[in-house]
Structures are given as C-alpha cells and as structure tokens.
Structure 1
Amino acid sequence: MRTSKYHYAYNENKVVIDIRNVSAEYRIKHSFYCISCGTEMVAKLGHKNIYHFAHKSGDEFCSSETYLHKLGKLLLKSKFEKSSTFEVEYLRDIECQKQSSCPFYSSECMEHSYELFDFKKYYDTCAEEQFFNNYKADLLLSDSTGKYQDAVFIEICVTHECTQEKQYSGQRIIEIQIKSDDDLYSLITAPIKESKSIKFMGFNRISKIKKVLAKRNLFRFQLFQSGAAYVSNFEEMPTCDVKKQNTKSILELNIDYGYIGDVTAYDYGLITAINMGYEVKNCRLCKYQKFGFETSMSPIFCCLSKKYGTPAYPKQSDAGKCQYFCLDNMRIHKINKELPHVPISIVGDIQ
C-alpha cells in the first residue's frame, strides 16, 4: 500500500485546504476529500510525521500525478482570481542603446535580466481546459474586453511536457514542472519565475529597456607627438565606453582586430592617424625597415644601419629625427585596402 503524503485536500464545500492551515479544532468540524480520486481523507497532525492528508481507506487506487495536475490548476486559478496581482518573471535581452551607431556592436553587446510583469494588467480571465487557436491550455489567461488579442497558456507538467507542435506553435506558454505539492506552494506565494523547472516559451525576449552596455574589450591605440605609439595588450584592453586614458596622447582609437595576416592593430592605428591628417613618422611605416621576428610587435631592423650608421634596432620615435625616413607606400596601400573591414572609432576626451 502506498502512503502518499498529500498537503492539500477539499473540505466538504469543495474548497482547497492547505494542511498548514488545519488545526485540531478545524479537523473536528470538517471533512476532507482527495482532490484526485474524491475519496475521504484524514488530516494527520501528529508530532512524529509532517502534517499531511492521508486516504482513509488507503491510496492504492489514487493517482498522485492526477492529484498534482489538478492541484496545480486549482491553486494557480485561485491565485489569479483572488489576488490583486499575478506576477511573472522571465529573462529578457537588454540591448545597448548605441547598437545602431556603434561599429563594434555584436551579439555580445547585450545583457540578460529578469523582468517582472503583472498579467492582471493585461488579462482578466483565467479559464481551465480552454481552447485557443486549436490548442487546449490547462489554464488560459485571456482578456474578455478584447483589448489584448493574444493569450497565455499555463501548462502543469508532472510527467508529460508540452508536445513539440504546441511548443513551436507560436503561442505564449508557461510550462511548470511539478514534482511535489511543495513546488506549488512557492508558486502561489511568489511570482512565477523562469527557471530550470519553469519554462517560458513564445515570449518576446527583447526588452524595451535601453542603456549603454560596456561589453566589448577592444585594443586601445595611442599616438604621441613624438611619433611613438602604443597598443594595449590583452590584459589591458579597455571596454568600449572608456574615455581617453593618457593625457599626453594626441589621438586614441578603439580597434576591433582579429589578427589577420601580418598587419596588426598597431599598423591600423598608424594608418588611420595618417588618413586623419596627422603627420606620422614611425619606423614601422618606413620602406627601409624589416621585422626581426615574426610576431605582431617584433623588433624593427633598419636596412640602412650598416650603410648610414642608423640604429640597427631603432625605437619608434627615432623615425621623427631620421633623415632617411621614407613611407612604404606599397605597404600603406595594402593596409588601406584592409582598413574598411576593421571597426575603428575615435576615443573621446578624458572624463
């Protein structure tokens, strides 16, 4: 014989009673009946076991699945009809308000946040086992005035989930998985919140909230009056909303660079500066240089060092005082061809 411990039952007036609200005095004055099979139940208020309702004649013919399914519908319907609010929370995507103008916008540029909605503001009817668009809902929330044409399905899942056809029907569905009647207690005492056991399907996930989101880490290029330049490394990459970082820089750029070929974020920054009208003398742009090692910031070797005594491995700023400096127009042309595919923005002043 099974000994299922039900925490809810009907009283003689078919009102759902929570065992938590049953006192010894109340038990004497009232009768209790199973929500699933309808047979008489006894309120167990002993000290050793948790308070519960038990079938008076045994529960071998009662379905706990039917009990939970019926109970879920009864409690949520009662909550909707008796409460001033019927609140739900589900995850929505907040997009950056600069997405239409930001060159760095991507799918990363959003955050996910729970948003609270009171369905009582939109729906005034909660009907059990109601059809809508050829699908039957355990509970259907709708608007009798016709102002809101859509509806919300609430499905109580004990062992069987919604069919795939229903899930992909486009209907707004809240599927609530119930393992015990304790799960239902939290539903009627708090908002219905999306979780592993509560699925929100068919709901609009795009939030109306708009704000600036600093989600992207970008290379920061800094150019100085001497012609020297600096590019942040991976550990120092600022987010896209950070203003100028160095008071001595004459130009700062954010660069979204993905390491393609032998051109670096440093090169894109230098060429962008030239295109903006800055007079840039940097050994990386000289036709007489070559890289010492195959790395993005490899040492520069000056091919004129033996002939004219220039530094064999010059500093960036040496180009500004080198009489032999000459722009490598072929390399600059190559970089300019790639430049339109590299998102770059000018960084504003220090705040």
Structure 2
Amino acid sequence: MSQVKAYAAHTEDTPLAPLNLQRRELRDDDVAIEILYCGVCHSDLHLARNDWGFTRYPLVPGHEIVGRVTATGSDVTRFTAGDMVGVGCMVDACGECKACYNGEEQYCLNGTTMTYGSDDRHDGTMTQGGYSGAIVTREDFVLRMPQGIDPASAAPLLCAGITTYSPLRHHGVGKRHRVGVIGMGGLGHMGVKLARALGAEVTLFTRSEAKVAEAKRNGAHHVVVSSDEAQMETVAGTFDFMLDTVPVAHDINPYLDALKYNGTHILVGLIEPIEPTIHGARLIGKRRAVAGSLIGGIAETQELLDFCAEQGITCDVEMLDIHNINEAYARMEKGDVRYRFVIDMATLKGAA
C-alpha cells in the first residue's frame, strides 16, 4: 500500500480536514494515477453532510478527477506512465449484466461501485475519491484525456458534462429539435453548451433576470424567465425536450405545458419526490413523457470528452486551493459559484 494526503469528511457536522489515506497496491488490471485536478460536485457536499443518510466516515469525496498515470498493472494495455487520464463517478461494475453488456455501467444490475463511498468488489474496503494526491483504479474505468483539452476545466465534464450529454444522446437530440434547459448551474450551463453543439435550438429557463446575458454567452439562443407567466404562455407547446437540471423539488407542470405532443421532460438533477404532483392530463393529453437519466457509461463518457475536445467545449470553472474547501462548500450552498470549483491538487502538498 502507499500513503497519500487527502481531505476528508470525518463526521457529518465537522469541516473537511486532512487525512492520511492508504491506496491499495496495484492489481493486474489497475492504473495508478497522480491526481492533478478534481472538480467539486454538489453531491460531494450532500454525502459529506450525510444528507442522504448512508454516508460512512471518514469519507474522501471527489469524482471529477484528472491526472497523470504513474504506474500500471501487468495486464494493462491501454495506458502507460505519463498518460493524461480521467476518472469519473464510477470505478467498477459487474461487467456481466445486461446494463454492463450494453455499455451502461451506471445502471449495473448488480450494483455500480462508485468512486467514493462504495464497497470495493474485491476486498470490501470503502472506495475513496479525488480530494487526494493519487488514486488506483481498474483500467476499464479510466478515461483518456484528448489532445488539446484543458485538463482543469475538463474535470467537471466527468460528472456535470456526462450527466447532461448522456440523455441528449440517448434521446437523439440534434438538428431540428427545440430543447429547453431548466436551471443555469453546473449542470445547466453544460446542458446549454452541449445541446447547442449537437445542433439543437436551445432555450434556457431561469427564474432570474440576471442570468439572461450569461445564458446567451454560454450559447442559449433564447432565454425564458420562468417566473413570468406571460413568457411561459408564449412558449406553450413548442419544445421537443426539456432537460431539467434543478436539484430541489419544484413544480414541473408549467414545463410540461411547454412541450409539444410527444415531448419528453428529462430529470437529471432531482433525486427527491416530485412536488407538487404531476397533473396526469398534461401527460395524457399530448402523449408527453417524464424520463430520468444518471451520468453515462464509460464508452459514452469517452465519446463526450472527444466531442468536447473537437468542439472546444469546457466547463466554466473557478480554481480552488484545497485549504479553502470548506469555504467553497459554504459558497456552493449559497449558489455562489460559476459554475464549478476545481481543486488544484498541487495545493494539497502544503496540507498538514
């Protein structure tokens, strides 16, 4: 085993603090990675605070990881020392079920092993994430960073990017489609960029007038202030898809009214009950559907990285010294980040 520095949540009600973390010795199919950058996702905060009720401590968050290969196991064929690589939300899956066979490991029917907070399938230890100096991961779950992509601003593509790209690809979004993106946070601004790059006509829905210019800067063709009933009435029945990135309970009925017949409302941010309830007539009367989507498979995530490199798409980021991670969490709770914090892991070297 090798010891690396990390920052961890030690309890649900104390600040993140340094931890000396043991990384496993290389298995035959493992890749060892020096972490250079790690994005900070809102899920990190939820799990650190035990908001979902299943966190075990100490917990090292972080699943938007970009780094450099330092060593490989004897069976590894796709990577060599020095390669720039990424690790996203998953580090293992069964590889045998229908979902895995279809390249959708995020839906593994035997349980996906997440990058942190999961039980390792081989030795039972808890996985620990990217707020650390290094990570050891199965080759099959390591992604190659394309030439020309900025590694720091690409880190959030491994969660925020793939979370919005996967449903757009699954539903075949492209030219001649009208897509509404609800919310202008880390997920929403990526949804706008990606839907536009895929050829769709994109409208951002926001409750804030202040985000109109910002949305257009990120590629939105149009902006609708959803709290303005008159604006909502003008777009009734006009969209093929709604990409809903809002992570808290909200009324989706007005957005259903904005869909065409056969339109689809896609949830990627909400993992709580839908409140208020959906009015069934809004679905039945126009054969509309409500769908969900969870990140993306490994092959699809590599496709996303390559697509972003070709299109010049990156996430808007604010670089972060890891010593300021608790202040960053406080700012995330207030929505005070545009749009993702990314930790420069070089700052970890000075951690206590």
Shared fold per TM-score greater than 0.5: no
TM-score (ref. length: structure 2): 0.22
- The answer to which structure, 1 or 2, has the higher relative contact order (CA under 8 A, 6+ apart) is 2
From the CA coordinates, give the structure whose radius of gyration is larger.
1
TM-score (ref. length: structure 1): 0.22
